[in-house]
C-alpha cells in the first residue's frame, strides 16, 4: 500500500485547466505573436514575418540591446546590494539584539509598500532643487555631497539601486531569518566547544545550512531583476535620455505605440533569458545542497 498517495489525480484537473487557460496558453500565444506583424492597425489580420521582429531588436538604432544589457546589469547589481546586507542584518537580528522584533518589523515594512508609492516618494526625496535629501545635506553643510540623483548619468543607477535595496532588503532578510531559525543551536554549541570563532561558524555552519534560503532569495531576486519595470518607470521612466531603459520599459513603449508583435518579441527574449538563468541557478544551487 502506497501511503503517500493521499489524493486522487483528478483533483489536479481544475488547477491544471486554470493554469493552461490563463498562463500556458497565453504564454504560447505570446511567443507565436512575436513572429507576426501584429499591430494597432492589423484588424485581426496577422502576417507571419519569421524572425524580423527579433532581427530589428538586435539591429535597430533604438538601442534595444542596451536595454537588454541594462536589465542584466540591474539583475546582478541589485541582488548584490540587497542580499549581502540582508544576510548580515538577518545574522545580527538572529543574535540576542535588544528589540530585535521591532527591527525586523521596521526593516520588513518597506517591502509591503506598492512600488508606485515608493517611486513617487523617492522622486520627491531625490529632487535636486527641493528634495529632502539635498535639503538635509545642505542643512548639514555637506553641499559637496549633493547630487542630481535622478538626472545625472553617473548617479542615476546608484539611486535606483539604493531605492530598490531600501525596499527589498527587509524581504530578503525575512527569508534568511527563516533559514537561520532552522539551524539547530547544537551545531553552534559544538563548534564553540571546538574553539570556532564567529567567522568559522559563519563559513562552516551558517552559510552551508542557509543554502536553501540563499537559493530562494537568488531565484526570486533574479526573476524580479529581469522583470524589473515599476521602480524604473516611476523613478526615471527610462531616463535621463535612455540611460535606464530596460527590456520592459522598451516593451511598454512599443505596446503603447501599437507595435504589439515587436513588443511580444522583446518579452519573449526576456522570458528566454529568465528561464535559462533561473534553471541554471536552481540546478547549481541544488547540486551545492546535495554536496553539503
Residues at the contact surface with another protein, assessed by CB under 8 A: 39-41, 43, 60-62, 127-130, 148-151, 153, 237-243, 253, 256-259
By beta-carbon proximity to another protein, the closer residue of 40 and 190 is 40
Q: What angle do CA 218, 211, 213 make, to 5 degrees?
A: 55
By beta-carbon proximity to another protein, the closer residue of 39 and 94 is 39
Q: Where are the alpha helices (DSSP H) in 140-210?
A: 156-181, 185-193, 198-201, 207-209
By beta-carbon proximity to another protein, the closer residue of 184 and 241 is 241
C-alpha cell belonging to residue 113: 509598500
By beta-carbon proximity to another protein, the closer residue of 151 and 223 is 151
- Minimum distance of another protein from residue 64's CB (angstroms): 13
By beta-carbon proximity to another protein, the closer residue of 39 and 111 is 39
How far apart CA 129 and CA 220 sit, in angstroms, is 36
C-alpha cell belonging to residue 229: 519595470
- Minimum distance of another protein from residue 25's CB (angstroms): 20
Cβ within 8 Å of residue 224, ≥6 positions away = 168
- Minimum distance of another protein from residue 52's CB (angstroms): 12
- Minimum distance of another protein from residue 231's CB (angstroms): 17
How far apart CA 272 and CA 5 sit, in angstroms, is 35
- Minimum distance of another protein from residue 39's CB (angstroms): 5
Cβ within 8 Å of residue 174, ≥6 positions away = 90, 104, 108
Amino acid at each position: 500500500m502506497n501511503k503517500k498517495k493521499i489524493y486522487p489525480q483528478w483533483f489536479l484537473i481544475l488547477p491544471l485547466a486554470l493554469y493552461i487557460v490563463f498562463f500556458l496558453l497565453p504564454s504560447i500565444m505570446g511567443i507565436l505573436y512575436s513572429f507576426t506583424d501584429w499591430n494597432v492597425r492589423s484588424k485581426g489580420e496577422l502576417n507571419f514575418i519569421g524572425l524580423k521582429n527579433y532581427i530589428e531588436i538586435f539591429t535597430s538604432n533604438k538601442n534595444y540591446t542596451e536595454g537588454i544589457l541594462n536589465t542584466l546589469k540591474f539583475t546582478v547589481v541589485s541582488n548584490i546590494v540587497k542580499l549581502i546586507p540582508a544576510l548580515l542584518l538577518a545574522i545580527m537580528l538572529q543574535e540576542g539584539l535588544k528589540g530585535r522584533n521591532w527591527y525586523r518589523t521596521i526593516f520588513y515594512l518597506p517591502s509591503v509598500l506598492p512600488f508606485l508609492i515608493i517611486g513617487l516618494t523617492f522622486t520627491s526625496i531625490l529632487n535636486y532643487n527641493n528634495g529632502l535629501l539635498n535639503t538635509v545635506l545642505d542643512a548639514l553643510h555637506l553641499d559637496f555631497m549633493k547630487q542630481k540623483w535622478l538626472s545625472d548619468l553617473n548617479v542615476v543607477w546608484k539611486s535606483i539601486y539604493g531605492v530598490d535595496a531600501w525596499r527589498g532588503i527587509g524581504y530578503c532578510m525575512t527569508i534568511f531569518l527563516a533559514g537561520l531559525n532552522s539551524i539547530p543551536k547544537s551545531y553552534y554549541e559544538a563548534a564553540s566547544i571546538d574553539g570556532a570563532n564567529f567567522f568559522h561558524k559563519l563559513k562552516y555552519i551558517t552559510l552551508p545550512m542557509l543554502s536553501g534560503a540563499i537559493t530562494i532569495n537568488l531565484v526570486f531576486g533574479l526573476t524580479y531583476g529581469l522583470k524589473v519595470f515599476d521602480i524604473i518607470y516611476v523613478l526615471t521612466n527610462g531616463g535621463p535620455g535612455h540611460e535606464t531603459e530596460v527590456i520592459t520599459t522598451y516593451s511598454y513603449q512599443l505596446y503603447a505605440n501599437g507595435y504589439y508583435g515587436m513588443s511580444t518579441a522583446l518579452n519573449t527574449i526576456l522570458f528566454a533569458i529568465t528561464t535559462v538563468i533561473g534553471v541554471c541557478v536552481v540546478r547549481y544551487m541544488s547540486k551545492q545542497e546535495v554536496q553539503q
